A and B are shown apart, each in its own frame.
Chain A
Amino acid sequence: KQEVTQIPAALSVPEGENLVLNCSFTDSAIYNLQWFRQDPGKGLTSLLLIQSSQREQTSGRLNASLDKSSGRSTLYIAASQPGDSATYLCAAYSGAGSYQLTFGKGTKLSVIP
């Protein structure tokens, strides 16, 4: 059974700092991995999707990497802004007959002005 872990559970950084959020998964036979953002009281917004054959994806100030062999993914946020404050979740899609994304519990990010 796939398990996804995110460390740290919470992170507070000053505005302008570059930061890395970590995600690890137990079953390396994943189909893809997605990063989401959740604002308080809201649903999830997809940020980046990395297919199993890819090593990284970039969107603006965000860069996500995937290392299947080590069971790890990272989300890099450059030049953080107060508007980046939210909970960031990663989710692994195992495919192969399992149609569910397995989510981590998220990292709550606070960017201090």
Chain B
Amino acid sequence: GAGVSQSPSNKVTEKGKDVELRCDPISGHTALYWYRQSLGQGLEFLIYFQGNSAPDKSGLPSDRFSAERTGGSVSTLTIQRTQQEDSAVYLCASSLRQGANTIYFGEGSWLTVV
């Protein structure tokens, strides 16, 4: 596609429920990143994919968070047993390859846990 696409754009869920957030990177981009932006906070790195593998998962805040990428394209970020502190904007980004290139962000998935 023309840009990084994320869905849903907005999600309100009850505490304790599981949520899945989807990211479609720009076609041909091998590197994919997930970041989280909480109100008034900076961007927090979550996980990075090169192809289908995740060399760096260091930012995942707990074992309730997981992510996968299939076919070197679409990625899904799953949050199990959501907590109120999980409320944030989850941003996906992609680049042609790791490091050297401009990174393109999607519009984000706004998650509210009530």
Residues of A within 8 A of B (CB): 31-32, 34, 36, 42-46, 49, 51, 89, 91, 93, 95, 98-106
Q: Is B65 an interface residue (CB 8 A)?
A: no
Q: Is the CB of A46 within 8 A of B102?
A: yes
Starting from the known contacts A98-B56, A102-B45, 18 additional A-B residue pairs (CB-CB under 8 Å) come to A34-B103, A36-B105, A42-B107, A42-B108, A43-B107, A89-B43, A91-B43, A99-B33, A99-B98, A99-B99, A100-B33, A100-B45, A101-B43, A103-B35, A103-B42, A105-B41, A105-B42, A106-B42
A105 to B107, CA, bound (A): 18
- Provided the pairs A89-B43, A105-B41, A105-B42 are in contact, do residues A99 and B56 lie with their beta carbons within 8 angstroms? yes
Residues of B within 8 A of A (CB): 4, 31, 33, 35, 41-43, 45, 48, 50, 55-56, 58-59, 91, 93, 98-108
